[in-house]
A and B are shown apart, each in its own frame.
Chain A
């Protein structure tokens, strides 16, 4: 009895994997992401340091020595981009995941149970939507400073939590909207009638049906998370100079659009590549887990 079941599960796993890689771009995207992650982890292999300056050699066009040129203090841009990937990728990925998870939790509870649960959770969401984020950030920065939480003040962990705390409302409202419709569908009613456990019902039956919009929302939030990160350091916490991040390289390059356009081009390109890769990985995942696609195959 046990043997065949196990065998079946293995087939399921390989089936999912096979379906994932059937989406050709998903495979490419995985490779691209791995390269990005590896290049930021192995950034120290770059012969140029991200902080060594040479002001007499500043704002050079990309050339054979400096593949992406140099910045306004003569630092190698490639090295700064590689090192910057550490913070930017971590913030982009983890804050998005956290924000989506929070959003799903609130949206799912709200949409599934309705009634007072819905009212209370959605009024809290509304309140969060009305808070001007600039003030939330200024106050948080001041608060962390006054508590002398210096360790926390500049930690990437705090940056991730804050970005998630400012962005979970969008996925929450989306998921709730989807749940409002899905909970009335036949398969849910049937499950309910059979006395199915709510949590199981949400996670196993309804949630997979919202996977598409949730993945899209995650992909699109990632780009803004990477950029928001640099905004935090402008408000006094988060990553401080001279530690590079893609967002901070981008924002300091703003005034150089005529004199050194590549300074903004390269970090922008990196964000674009990351977001594209995540998008195709998301597509692949969707296909891989979509029960209907498996049926039709």
Chain B
């Protein structure tokens, strides 16, 4: 196990290098550049744009630019944003706590609800409970997050009001009301709608997978053996079945965990949440290369790291899993 882990970590070094080249090329091969919007601005002359491009070194050969970027990345410097003229590390640093709060809360709610829903649905498949949960989770999955978010705003922000104060039942703008920064209850209040929009879709994935893989496992021999032995049915369900169904769950978590950093663009946009998803999207639209590369590289590292972690957890959860 330890040698396997070590081997995987060592493997990531060349892989990250290759990925960094690919990501750099990809970001730079996209048409347009940081000054595309400026080109349309009637106040800005073409000569000025060319001068700025020259100053930013955007006209140098790509390998030279890549070398420069990699060099500073290795020294821990992600450079300055072309648009905001601020250090990328500072811009990312501001957004990380916000994203962690939102996505972390949604993740927590998802696991809290999806696991019991999945287990209960699998225990009594095709029961009214199962059907109701299927319908609700599928509403969450089939309605695009965008519409779910807008719907929540229309109902809980615009239509419904607190009868005592006349305030909206839930707010839409950002993480805190003005003057309430640092009040955890106020943040919680602001979290309810975005977390609902974000976790409904996730709950669908997690509970459906859990239900389905538990159903598979429940048919297997040893479960029936366990039943035959007269063990409490409950115990069988919770122990054996869950333990075997948990592998797909680990896979899902490993695939979703990087979004704790990468954020959730649609929900952040609808609820004016200043998270990483929006930072990435704005940088992508404006081709703010240093910000873009900073975000995609950190995300890439996280994705790879989470997948290694998942593989290690497989082995830990199920000793039968062997890696050659």
Q: Does B11 contact A (CB under 8 A)?
A: yes
The residues of B with any CB-CB pair to A shorter than 8 Å are 11, 15, 18-19, 22-23, 26-27, 29-31, 126, 134-135, 138-139, 141-144, 146-147, 150, 154, 204-205, 208-209, 211-213, 215-216, 219-220, 244, 247-248, 250-252, 254-255, 280-281, 284, 296, 299-300, 303-304, 307, 310, 314, 318, 320-324
- For A181, the chain B residues whose CB sits under 8 A away are 244, 247, 314, 318, 320-321
Say yes or no: A130-B323 contact (C-beta < 8 A), given A119-B11, A227-B144: no
11 contacts between A and B (CB under 8 A): A130-B23, A130-B296, A130-B304, A132-B23, A180-B321, A184-B320, A185-B320, A212-B216, A213-B248, A271-B144, A279-B134
Decide if B147 touches A139 in the complex (CB within 8 Å): no
Decide if A134 touches B208 in the complex (CB within 8 Å): no
Say yes or no: A272-B143 contact (C-beta < 8 A), given A142-B31, A220-B204: yes
B37 to chain A, nearest CB (A): 15
Q: Does A209 contact B (CB under 8 A)?
A: yes
Chain B residue with the shortest CB-CB distance to A126? B304
Selected contact of B147 from candidates A142, A177, A250, CB within 8 Å: A250
A interface majority secondary structure: helix
Q: Does A223 contact B (CB under 8 A)?
A: yes
Decide if B144 touches A250 in the complex (CB within 8 Å): yes
Q: Does A170 contact B (CB under 8 A)?
A: yes
- For A118, the chain B residues whose CB sits under 8 A away are 323
Q: Does A138 contact B (CB under 8 A)?
A: yes
- For A131, the chain B residues whose CB sits under 8 A away are 22-23, 26
Selected contact of B15 from candidates A123, A142, A180, A264, CB within 8 Å: A123
Say yes or no: A180-B248 contact (C-beta < 8 A), given A227-B144, A250-B147: no
Say yes or no: A254-B216 contact (C-beta < 8 A), given A180-B314, A184-B321: no
Q: How far apart sit A268 and B314, CA to CA, in the bound complex (Å)?
A: 38
Q: How far apart sit A209 and B219, CA to CA, in the bound complex (Å)?
A: 10
- For B324, the chain A residues whose CB sits under 8 A away are 114-115
Q: How many residues from A make CB contacts under 8 Å with B?
A: 59
- For A178, the chain B residues whose CB sits under 8 A away are 213, 247-248
Q: How far apart sit A290 and B304, CA to CA, in the bound complex (Å)?
A: 35
- For A170, the chain B residues whose CB sits under 8 A away are 255
Q: How far apart sit A80 and B12, CA to CA, in the bound complex (Å)?
A: 49
Decide if A135 touches B154 in the complex (CB within 8 Å): no
Decide if A293 touches B219 in the complex (CB within 8 Å): yes
B interface majority secondary structure: helix
Q: How far apart sit A85 and B250, CA to CA, in the bound complex (Å)?
A: 36
Chain B residue with the shortest CB-CB distance to A272? B142
Q: How far apart sit A258 and B153, CA to CA, in the bound complex (Å)?
A: 11
Selected contact of A177 from candidates B141, B247, B299, B322, CB within 8 Å: B247
Chain A residue with the shortest CB-CB distance to B26? A135
- For A215, the chain B residues whose CB sits under 8 A away are 212
Decide if B150 touches A130 in the complex (CB within 8 Å): no
Chain B residue with the shortest CB-CB distance to A107? B251
B221 to chain A, nearest CB (A): 9
B288 to chain A, nearest CB (A): 13
- For A135, the chain B residues whose CB sits under 8 A away are 26-27, 30, 284
- For B280, the chain A residues whose CB sits under 8 A away are 132
Q: How far apart sit A174 and B147, CA to CA, in the bound complex (Å)?
A: 28
Selected contact of A223 from candidates B134, B141, B219, B296, CB within 8 Å: B141
User: Which of A118, A119, A220 neighbours the largest number of chain B CB atoms within 10 Å of its CB?
Assistant: A220
Q: How far apart sit A103 and B110, CA to CA, in the bound complex (Å)?
A: 25
Decide if A276 touches B135 in the complex (CB within 8 Å): yes
Task: For the A-B complex with A119-B11, A135-B27, A268-B144 known, give 20 more contacts whose Cβ atoms are closer than 8 Å.
Answer: A129-B303, A131-B22, A131-B23, A132-B280, A132-B284, A135-B26, A135-B284, A136-B26, A139-B29, A142-B31, A173-B251, A173-B307, A178-B248, A180-B321, A213-B216, A257-B154, A272-B139, A275-B142, A276-B138, A286-B215
Q: How far apart sit A261 and B19, CA to CA, in the bound complex (Å)?
A: 44
- For A180, the chain B residues whose CB sits under 8 A away are 247, 314, 321
- For A296, the chain B residues whose CB sits under 8 A away are 219
Selected contact of A130 from candidates B126, B300, B321, CB within 8 Å: B300
Say yes or no: A292-B219 contact (C-beta < 8 A), given A126-B303, A135-B284, A275-B141: yes
Q: How far apart sit A136 and B296, CA to CA, in the bound complex (Å)?
A: 13
